């Protein structure tokens, strides 16, 4: 295993990795309800886990995971409900799902992400990959061109145009895709037995294909291998352009 985590590198090791491939990976996490079966930090665990493998292949340095992210919300009777608290699968009334502590406003998140990009550019990076929590990745995607020009860096996220095969990186919410990815990366953190055994009962605040029948570590590994290959191609090309 190579040393790829930013916080673990000495300045000398940092410069050596930067020289070899000036790529920064920014895991866009949350601390958010991901069903009864997945850990609250699932978004960061998946994106950082994928990025560590990518950095070991292509080169580059992986940042610590962010845990703040944008999200839709509503104030009802003075109480703040996040997107998943208002899922129809939670019940007729919104309910605060335990553990969620990530939501910040869209503009504030865009400012944070823009500043991260500007700081990384200053530190010497020329290529930046930011990916993870859906709405956070959406902010990256919609500002890609603007920030790329403004800071003269190449920017990427890891979504494809069509994710209908379920083999992308974080394309649902705690359903078959995300559950399979956590199963592949950190099987010790998945507790499928916490979900209702009766398949006619839909688990609360899970959006996508039923993880109880569709998720597996094999599916997660297949997705990771496929996306590692795809991102390796994209980043190798990006590296050639700056050399």
| Of residues 43 and 71, the one with the C-beta less far from Zn ion | 43
Of all residues in the shown chain, the one whose CB is closest to Zn ion is 43
**Interacting residues with Zn ion (CB under 5 A):** 43
| Of residues 21 and 84, the one with the C-beta less far from Zn ion | 84
| Residue-by-residue DSSP string for the chain | ----BGGG--HHHHHHHHHH--EEEEEE------TTTS-TTHHHHHHHHHHHHHHHHH--EEPPPB--EE--EEEETTEEEEGGGG-GGG-SS----TT---EE-HHHHHHHHHHHHHHHHHHT-SEEEEEESHHHHHHHHHHHHHHHHHHT-EEE----S--TTS-SSS-SBSSHHHHHHHHHH-GGG--GGGS-S-TTSPPTT-BSS-HHHH--HHHHHHHHHHHHHHHHHHHHHHHHHH-
Question: Taking the complex as a whole, how short is the minimal distance between the CB of residue 133 and Zn ion, in angstroms?
Answer: 6
Question: Taking the complex as a whole, how short is the minimal distance between the CB of residue 242 and Zn ion, in angstroms?
Answer: 32
| Of residues 43 and 85, the one with the C-beta less far from Zn ion | 43
Question: Taking the complex as a whole, how short is the minimal distance between the CB of residue 151 and Zn ion, in angstroms?
Answer: 27
| Of residues 94 and 208, the one with the C-beta less far from Zn ion | 208
């Amino acid at each position: 295993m190579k040393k790829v985590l930013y916080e673990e590198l000495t300045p000398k090791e940092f410069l050596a990795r930067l020289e070899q491939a000036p790529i920064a990976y920014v895991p866009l996490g949350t601390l958010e309800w991901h069903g009864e079966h997945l850990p609250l930090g699932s978004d960061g665990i998946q994106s950082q886990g994928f990025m560590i493998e990518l950095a070991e292949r292509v080169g580059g340095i992986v940042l610590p995971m962010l845990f703040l992210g944008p999200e839709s919300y509503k104030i009802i009777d003075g109480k703040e409900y996040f997107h998943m608290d208002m899922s129809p699968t939670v019940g007729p009334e919104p309910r605060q799902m335990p553990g969620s502590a990530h939501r910040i406003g869209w503009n504030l998140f865009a400012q944070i992400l823009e500043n991260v990009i500007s700081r990384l550019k200053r530190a010497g990076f020329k290529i930046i990959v930011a990916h993870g929590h859906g709405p956070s990745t959406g902010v990256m995607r919609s500002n890609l061109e603007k920030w790329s020009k403004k800071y003269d860096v190449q920017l990427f996220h890891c979504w494809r145009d069509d994710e209908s095969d379920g083999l992308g990186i974080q394309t649902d919410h705690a359903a078959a895709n995300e559950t399979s990815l956590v199963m592949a990366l950190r099987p010790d953190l998945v507790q499928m037995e916490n979900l209702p055994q009766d398949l006619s009962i839909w688990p609360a605040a899970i959006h996508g294909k039923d993880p109880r029948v569709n998720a597996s570590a094999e599916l997660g590994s297949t997705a990771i291998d496929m996306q590692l290959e795809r991102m390796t191609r994209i980043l190798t090309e990006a590296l050639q352009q700056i050399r």
